[in-house]
């Protein structure tokens, strides 16, 4: 029998035998291939779900509802008299009067308090700023637009039947909102303030300007440090370093450093940069240094690859003309390797841009309203802002968080696209 | 003057000395026409002068900032002891801190009514100390910068080899830069090591490594060492392992199948659209994944649990683990694809040429041949998962439950590091130090995984090169 | 050891090829190819080639480097399917069945038309597993004993058994180059193919290993139909009964090996052969 297969049976018998299992094998082949395809499709679905989820959550943040108030800036209302600065007038009571005038039927104290809650806490400052900017409107009645409270904003964006209660808006409030809408006193506007204002405890007021500025400053520090350091280190290792134990050690060390969890760099920053060197907590300077240490391996590895790709003939030609090693390196090798180095740097910077964990360690998580003006001011950065907002209980921050994520992803996309563009141009040359 | 301003001034001086160096060399040569008789170019003399001015001054500044605060503190402590008639107070750190806070208030001209006369005196002393130190720092920096410049200018002669000198400096600089990576590693090791040693002097190593109670915030017993809670890290280790395992259960099969499909089946077109997709997955910041896990995936999982009458924790390990798995998919897939494309085509052809189907070839020839590379990839991915912070900080819990149940809430090493160090903290407390001990465990583990992975991958590359 | 003669050096530009001379066809054909064209993208590598592979005979394909021998050989068991830009036209038949036809399953085809490659490519598995690979995937053995039997007879036929019988479990990659190539032949014959294609099977081997392989080919022809690509004229003369001479993607001459080497009809063939000897 055994012999039969191999020896005496005509080969066509083997063919028959193979044919027996062929259908099954083809089926399992199909299965396997489909599984692979399914995995790829799953990847696409995940990307889609992730982006769709965030985008759909973010969209509401780009609009904000405003409500019109008829404010009576009478001297009586404001308790104004000669010699009192415009800063110190009674704006709160003026605002409340204006609100109460819109709803003459609301009488009880409790209802009134509820009513005031429909308007952003910032309304008082809005009318104050208005009067200070236009002092001649004193003693006139002005129509002023102020933001609605974040719960009202969400209600207006989500409700399908105006006037019906919804999450955190009860029947009475819903009716009031309805009457405001019907009298045309509510307006939906593009929320430009999201980009021009800084963090706030009130969702309707919070914006990303502070975090964006902090990110810019931190990235500047990172770039200013990591680019020269990374290129210098790569040049040394590729062009100057003798092949010995020391360089081997540095090489292994760089590879390992590239895979050290980012949070460890935060510990380093806290223990060394803040506690030993005494640099200020929460500052873009410290954040930049920590991110530099973190991205340095990426930049060094990419730069080395790029420098290695410069053909040796270039070096030989330059050296042949009497240029020293250093001259050859800086005026011939480095310029040719530059596109690759830049690509690596952009990728490293993109990594740094999205990094959060180490910055938590060095105190960039504080609630900071001011826009940082220098690299030693306390500040926060986009990813940390996202983290902070995501942690906030107010529902209004959900959209803000998602919108901030979109902004961050937008920057990342730009950076990666430019890296890809650079790489392609470089490769085609 | 602040250090930043000083650095700026030093740079200005360096710029000026660049120009001075050039002028000086031209003068030594005897006019612009004679420059060619110099052994080096004028710009090289200029650069050399600038380097000689900038480098020592900046180095000095660095050194100064490193030691300034500790020296000032030492003086301050002396003064505090002196002012209290030589009595050494028990909580010295607190007193010193109060003085510093007060000094800050004085400079910001805030309300000082709460302070005692003695405190005010000390604060004034502290302010004076700081002013003196800043003055000294500024003066010394300028003296160093100017002194170095004049000495090097004096050296510029006909036969002075600026080029050689310059090259030596530049290669020295490059060498120093290459050492930064090493310094970083040393810095990491030192910082986690010293703080950990301090921690283990308060909490026994065995309690940390084998204890099953983790509650650093609450005091457990009055007489307890460290005085502030239990530091048994086993629940954290278990939580970390649990979440990483869930992540790998998703990432390994999906990532591997993607790698197989892309390297063996996909047409060029599919590859060209699948690669960017993977890049997107790899490029999304972890804080975004954390948000997705906490606000989208976790609620879905919990709702699903309600549907089938299964109580799933709001911060279940499952949600964090799954999303972490998604994050790691591109990592596994790209590294294993590299490993599979490194398998020689001859092996693949040999198998297909015998009548094996593509899948049989993959399963019986390509995967076994690529297994070291894939194992390396998986080790790196595991190290990623263990060290991942934001996803777990946002989606996993804080309570240290000792459980392997994926639908319960667990905490991880990284979550605890963040929660112990986030916000203001007093150094030296066991609570703060515990974070560094955890950091050390994390560093050792990931380092071991990385070294193993790199070794395996390198050996495997050699095999086919 | 092996001179690669390029087409240019043979003065190809001056000499016309108008269909193959000699006897490209036979009555007892195992495989027959008619008007085969092969393209790599827009690049035509094979121009209108027609000939037969005679049953239980060794056919040598010779010709200068780049003339399309490997390309043609790889068409015979559809290994070219793996190259996306490769496109085959014309009729290729195995026992009258169209190789590129809809009915033909490439998996089955490759089991029937086995291939031995230029560089030995044993799988990174044990010697036993290497040989058992084909029978296992094709389900040729029902139990372990049967599989052992197949492995043993294949190794015996490949002339390797005596050398490796004590270390069947050691890795196949640990063998010498010549042993590895015989292992690959054993692996191929373990699935009892009808045709064996060999693409320069001895080019990576030393003369002694080459001689062993040649001896083996000689024995194998009793059972199998063999096509072998070689750059060595002596080898072609020693192992083959038929020889086909390729030039720039065309078949110039085909006929009995003896006749081709002693009295070639076409000028190009003569140039090539004498170039080798001269
Ligand atoms: N994968 C491929 N893609 C594109 N062109 C190819 C490919 N393989 C071979 N060719 C081209 O087809 C022609 C024939 O190549 P082939 O490998 O068949 O020659 P050969 O006769 O086997 O040469 P050698 O004796 O050197 O092995 C050559 O011009 C070659 O450039
Ligand atoms: Mg060939």
Tell me how close the Cα of B188 comes to any Cα of chain A, in angstroms: 5
Atom of ligand 1 nearest to the CA of C246: 21
Q: A280 and A333 share a domain? A: yes
The mean per-residue pLDDT over the stretch A213-229 comes to 93
* Sign (positive or negative) of CA dihedral C266, C268, C274, C278: positive
Are A373 and A25 a contacting pair, CB within 8 Å?
A: no
Give me the domains of chain B, ranges plus CATH numbers: 3-160 (no CATH), 230-464 (1.10.3720.10)
- Is residue C25 in a domain? no
For residue C82, the ligand closest to its alpha carbon is: 1
The mean per-residue pLDDT over the stretch A300-313 comes to 91
Distance CA C236, CA A355 (A): 67
Atom of ligand 1 nearest to the CA of C67: 21
Residue C168 Cβ inside 6 Å of ligand 1? The answer reads: no
- Is residue A372 in a domain? yes
Predicted confidence at residue B400, as pLDDT, reads: 85
Distance CA C206, CA C165 (A): 23
CB-based contacts of C61: which residues, under 8 Å, 6+ apart? Answer: C69, C72, C73, C227, C228, C229, C230, C243, C244, C246
Q: A188 and A250 share a domain? A: no
Q: A79 and A225 share a domain? A: no
Are A319 and A328 a contacting pair, CB within 8 Å?
A: yes
- Is residue C99 in a domain? yes
Residue C78 Cβ inside 6 Å of ligand 1? The answer reads: no
User: Which residue has tokens 């003085």?
Assistant: B99
- Is residue C17 in a domain? no
- Is residue C80 in a domain? yes
Helix H or strand E encompassing B331? helix B317-341
Q: Report the CATH number that the domain containing residue A218 is assigned in CATH.
A: 1.10.3720.10
Q: CB atoms < 10 A from the CB of B317, how many?
A: 30
Residues A25-46: pLDDT tens digits? Answer: 999 999 999 999 999 999 999 9
Measured between CB atoms, which of B355, B357, B365 is closest to C123?
B365
Q: Which residue has the higher pLDDT, B220 or A98?
A: A98
Alpha carbons within 13 A on the beta-carbon side of A265: 28
Answer whether residue A9 shows pLDDT above 70: no
φ, ψ (nearest 5 deg) of residue A100: -60, -35
CB-based contacts of B337: which residues, under 8 Å, 6+ apart? Answer: B258, B259, B262, B263
Could you give the C-alpha distances from C197 to A80, C75, C185, C207, in angstroms and in order?
A: 106, 10, 10, 21
Burial C241-276 (b: 16+ CB within 10 A, else e): ebbbbbbbbbbbbbbebeebbeebebbbbbbbbeeb
Chain C residue numbers touching B350 (CB-CB < 8 A): 117, 121-123, 184, 187
For residue C2, the ligand closest to its alpha carbon is: 1
Q: A128 and A248 share a domain? A: no
Predicted confidence at residue C1, as pLDDT, reads: 38
Q: How many domains does chain A have?
A: 3
Pairing of the two strands B230-231 and B214-215: antiparallel
Predicted confidence at residue A84, as pLDDT, reads: 80
> Which DSSP symbol is given to B297?
I
Residues B360-375: pLDDT tens digits? Answer: 999 999 999 999 899 9
Tell me how close the Cα of A360 comes to any Cα of chain B, in angstroms: 6
- Is residue A302 in a domain? yes
Measured between CB atoms, which of B360, B368, B369 is closest to C137?
B360
Q: A131 and A26 share a domain? A: no
Residue C69 Cβ inside 6 Å of ligand 1? The answer reads: yes
- Is residue C267 in a domain? yes
Q: pLDDT class for B228, splitting at 50, 70, 90?
A: low
Residues B50-98: pLDDT tens digits? Answer: 888 888 888 888 888 878 877 888 888 887 777 776 566 666 667 777 7
Mean pLDDT lowest among A74-83, B143-152, B225-234, C31-40: B225-234
Q: Cβ of C227 under 8 Å from any chain B Cβ? A: no
Answer whether residue B299 shows pLDDT above 80: yes
Are A370 and A210 a contacting pair, CB within 8 Å?
A: yes
Pairing of the two strands C250-256 and C242-247: antiparallel
Answer whether residue C83 shows pLDDT above 60: yes
Chain B residue numbers touching C138 (CB-CB < 8 A): 355
Cβ-based burial of B110 (10 A; exposed 0-12, middle 13-18, buried ≥19): exposed
Indicate the average pLDDT of chain A: 86
Domain carrying residue C46? 2-7+30-273
Predicted confidence at residue C228, as pLDDT, reads: 94
| Among C56, C114, C138, the residue to mutate for chain A (most A Cβ within 10 A) | C138
Please give the distance, rounded to the nearest whole angstrom, from the Cα atom of residue C113 to the centre of ligand 1: 21
- Is residue A257 in a domain? yes
Residue C247 Cβ inside 6 Å of ligand 1? The answer reads: no
- Is residue A224 in a domain? yes
> Which DSSP symbol is given to A201?
S
Q: A30 and A163 share a domain? A: no
Indicate the average pLDDT of chain B: 85
Q: A355 and A242 share a domain? A: yes
Q: A270 and A190 share a domain? A: no
- Is residue C52 in a domain? yes
Q: A379 and A242 share a domain? A: yes
Q: A312 and A230 share a domain? A: yes
Q: Which residue has the higher pLDDT, A301 or C212?
A: A301
Distance CA B364, CA C124 (A): 10
CB contact under 8 A, C117 and B357: no
Q: Whose CA is nearest to atom 14 of ligand 1?
A: C68
Residue C227 Cβ inside 6 Å of ligand 1? The answer reads: no
Distance CA A105, CA B57 (A): 75
Are B419 and B398 a contacting pair, CB within 8 Å?
A: yes
Q: Report the CATH number that the domain containing residue C179 is assigned in CATH.
A: 3.40.50.300
Predicted confidence at residue A10, as pLDDT, reads: 55
Predicted confidence at residue B90, as pLDDT, reads: 62
Q: Cβ of C193 under 8 Å from any chain A Cβ? A: yes
Q: A22 and A131 share a domain? A: no
* Sign (positive or negative) of CA dihedral A58, A62, A65, A66: positive
- Is residue A213 in a domain? yes
Last residue of a domain, one of A161, A196, A231: A196
- Is residue A116 in a domain? yes
Q: Whose CA is nearest to atom 31 of ligand 1?
A: C66
Answer whether residue A51 shows pLDDT above 90: yes
Residue C65 Cβ inside 6 Å of ligand 1? The answer reads: yes
Q: Cβ of C123 under 8 Å from any chain B Cβ? A: yes
SS3 C247: strand
Residue C40 Cβ inside 6 Å of ligand 1? The answer reads: yes
CB contact under 8 A, B365 and C187: no
Strand partners, C89: C37
- Is residue C12 in a domain? no
Q: How many domains does chain C have?
A: 1
Q: A323 and A379 share a domain? A: yes
| Total residue length of chain B | 465
Domain carrying residue A36? 2-59
Tell me how close the Cα of B461 comes to any Cα of chain A, in angstroms: 16
Distance CA A409, CA A387 (A): 14
CB contact under 8 A, C107 and A15: no
- Is residue A202 in a domain? no
């Amino acid at each position: 029998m055994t012999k039969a297969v191999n020896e005496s049976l005509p080969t066509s018998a083997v063919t028959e035998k193979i044919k027996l299992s062929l259908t099954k094998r083809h089926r399992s082949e199909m299965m396997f291939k489909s599984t692979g395809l399914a995995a790829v499709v799953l990847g696409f679905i995940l990307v889609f779900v992730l982006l769709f989820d965030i985008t759909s959550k973010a969209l509401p943040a780009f609009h904000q509802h405003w409500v019109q108030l008829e404010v009576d800036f009478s001297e009586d209302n404001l308790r104004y008299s000669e010699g009192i600065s415009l800063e110190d007038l009674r704006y709160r009571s003026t605002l409340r009067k204006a609100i109460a005038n819109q709803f003459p039927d609301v009488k009880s104290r409790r209802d009134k308090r509820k009513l005031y809650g429909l308007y952003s806490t910032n309304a008082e400052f809005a009318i104050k700023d208005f009067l200070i900017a236009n002092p001649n409107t004193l003693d006139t009645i002005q129509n002023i637009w102020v933001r609605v409270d974040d719960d009202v904003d969400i209600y207006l964006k989500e409700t399908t039947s105006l006037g019906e209660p919804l999450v955190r808006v009860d029947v009475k409030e819903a009716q009031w909102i309805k009457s405001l809408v019907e009298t045309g006193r509510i307006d939906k506007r593009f929320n430009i303030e999201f980009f021009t204002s800084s963090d706030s405890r009130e969702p309707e007021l919070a914006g990303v300007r502070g975090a964006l500025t902090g990110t810019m400053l931190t990235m500047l520090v990172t770039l200013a440090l990591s680019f020269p350091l990374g290129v210098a280190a790569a040049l040394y290792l590729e062009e100057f370093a003798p092949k010995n134990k020391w360089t081997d050690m540095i090489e292994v060390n760089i590879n390992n450093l590239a895979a050290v969890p980012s949070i460890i760099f935060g510990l380093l920053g806290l223990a060394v940069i803040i506690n030993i060197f005494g640099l200020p907590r929460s500052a873009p300077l410290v954040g930049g240094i920590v991110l530099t240490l973190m991205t340095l391996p990426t930049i060094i590895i990419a730069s080395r690859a790029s420098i290695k790709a410069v053909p040796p003939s270039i070096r030989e030609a330059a050296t042949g003309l009497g240029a020293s090693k250093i001259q050859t390196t800086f005026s011939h090798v480095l310029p040719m390797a530059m596109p690759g180095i830049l690509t690596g740097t952009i990728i490293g910077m993109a990594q740094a841009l999205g990094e959060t964990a180490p910055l938590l360690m060095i105190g960039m998580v504080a609630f900071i309203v001011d826009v940082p003006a220098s690299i030693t001011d306390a500040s926060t950065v986009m990813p940390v802002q996202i983290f902070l907002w995501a942690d906030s209980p107010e529902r209004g921050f959900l959209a803000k968080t998602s919108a901030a994520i979109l902004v961050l992803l937008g920057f990342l996309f730009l950076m990666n696209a430019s890296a890809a563009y650079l790489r392609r141009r470089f490769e085609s040359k | 003057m602040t250090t930043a301003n000083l650095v700026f001034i030093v740079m200005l001086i360096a710029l000026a000395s660049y120009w001075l160096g050039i002028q000086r060399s031209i003068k030594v040569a005897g006019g612009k026409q004679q420059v060619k008789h110099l052994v080096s170019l004028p710009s090289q003399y200029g650069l050399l002068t600038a380097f000689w001015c900038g480098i020592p001054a900046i180095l000095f500044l660095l050194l100064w900032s490193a030691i300034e605060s500790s020296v000032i503190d030492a003086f301050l402590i002396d003064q505090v002891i002196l002012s209290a008639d030589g009595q050494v107070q028990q909580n010295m750190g607190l007193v010193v801190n109060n003085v510093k806070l007060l000094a800050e208030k004085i400079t910001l001209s805030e309300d000082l009514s709460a302070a005692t006369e003695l405190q005010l005196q000390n604060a004034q002393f502290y302010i004076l100390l700081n002013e003196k130190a800043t003055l000294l720092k500024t003066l010394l920096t300028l003296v160093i910068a100017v002194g170095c410049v004049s000495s090097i200018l004096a050296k510029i002669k006909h036969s002075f080899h600026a080029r050689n000198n310059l090259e030596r400096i530049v290669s020295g600089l490059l060498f120093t830069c290459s050492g930064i990576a090493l310094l970083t590693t040393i810095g990491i090791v030192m910082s986690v090591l010293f703080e950990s040693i301090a921690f283990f002097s308060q909490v026994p190593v065995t309690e940390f490594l084998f204890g099953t109670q983790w509650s650093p915030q609450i005091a457990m017993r009055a007489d307890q060492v460290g005085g502030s809670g239990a530091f048994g890290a086993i629940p954290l280790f278990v939580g970390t392992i649990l979440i990483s395992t869930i992540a790998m259960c998703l990432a390994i099969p999906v990532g591997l199948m993607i790698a197989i499909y892309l390297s063996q089946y996909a047409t060029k077109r599919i590859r060209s659209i699948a690669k960017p997709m993977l890049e997107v997955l790899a490029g999304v910041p972890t804080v975004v994944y954390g948000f997705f896990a906490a606000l989208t995936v976790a609620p879905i999982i919990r709702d699903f649990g309600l549907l089938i009458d299964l109580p799933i924790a709001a911060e279940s390990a499952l949600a964090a683990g799954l999303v972490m798995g998604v994050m790691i998919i591109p990592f596994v897939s790209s590294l294993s694809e590299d490993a599979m494309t490194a398998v020689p085509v001859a092996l693949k052809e040999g198998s297909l040429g015998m009548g094996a189907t593509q899948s049989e070839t993959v399963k019986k020839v390509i995967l076994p041949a690529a297994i070291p590379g894939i194992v390396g990839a998986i080790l790196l991915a595991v190290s990623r998962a263990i060290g991942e912070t934001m996803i777990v900080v946002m989606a996993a819990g804080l309570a240290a439950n000792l459980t392997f149940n994926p639908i319960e809430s667990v905490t991880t090493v990284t979550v605890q590091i963040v929660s112990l160090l986030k916000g203001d903290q007093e150094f030296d407390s066991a609570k703060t130090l515990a974070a560094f001990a955890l950091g050390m465990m994390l560093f050792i583990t990931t380092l071991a995984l990385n070294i193993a992975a790199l070794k395996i991958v390198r050996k495997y590359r050699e095999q086919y090169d | 050891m092996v001179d690669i003669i390029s087409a240019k050096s043979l003065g190809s530009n001056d000499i016309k090829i108008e269909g193959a001379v000699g006897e490209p066809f036979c009555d007892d054909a195992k495989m027959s190819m008619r008007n085969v064209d092969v393209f790599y993208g827009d690049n035509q590598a094979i121009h209108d080639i027609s000939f037969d592979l005679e049953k239980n005979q060794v056919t040598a394909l010779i010709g200068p480097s780049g003339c399309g021998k490997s390309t043609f050989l790889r068409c015979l068991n559809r290994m070219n399917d793996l190259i996306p830009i490769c496109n085959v036209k014309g009729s290729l038949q195995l026992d009258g069945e169209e190789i590129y036809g809809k009915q033909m399953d490439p998996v089955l085809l490759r089991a029937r038309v086995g291939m031995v490659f230029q560089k030995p490519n044993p799988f990174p598995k044990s010697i036993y597993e290497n040989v058992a690979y084909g029978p296992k995937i094709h389900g040729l053995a029902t139990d372990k004993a049967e599989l052992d039997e197949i492995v043993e007879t294949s190794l015996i036929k490949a002339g390797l058994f005596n050398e490796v019988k004590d270390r069947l479990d050691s890795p196949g990659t640990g063998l010498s180059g010549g042993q590895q190539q015989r292992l690959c032949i054993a692996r191929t014959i373990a699935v009892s193919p009808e045709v064996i294609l060999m693409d320069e099977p001895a080019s990576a081997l030393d003369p002694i290993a080459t001689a062993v392989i040649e001896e083996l080919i000689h024995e194998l022809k009793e059972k199998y139909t063999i096509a072998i690509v070689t750059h060595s004229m002596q080898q072609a003369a020693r192992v083959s009964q038929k020889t086909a001479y390729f030039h720039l993607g065309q078949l110039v001459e085909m006929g009995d090996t003896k006749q081709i080497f002693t009295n070639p009809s076409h000028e190009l063939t003569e140039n090539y052969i004498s170039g080798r000897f001269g």
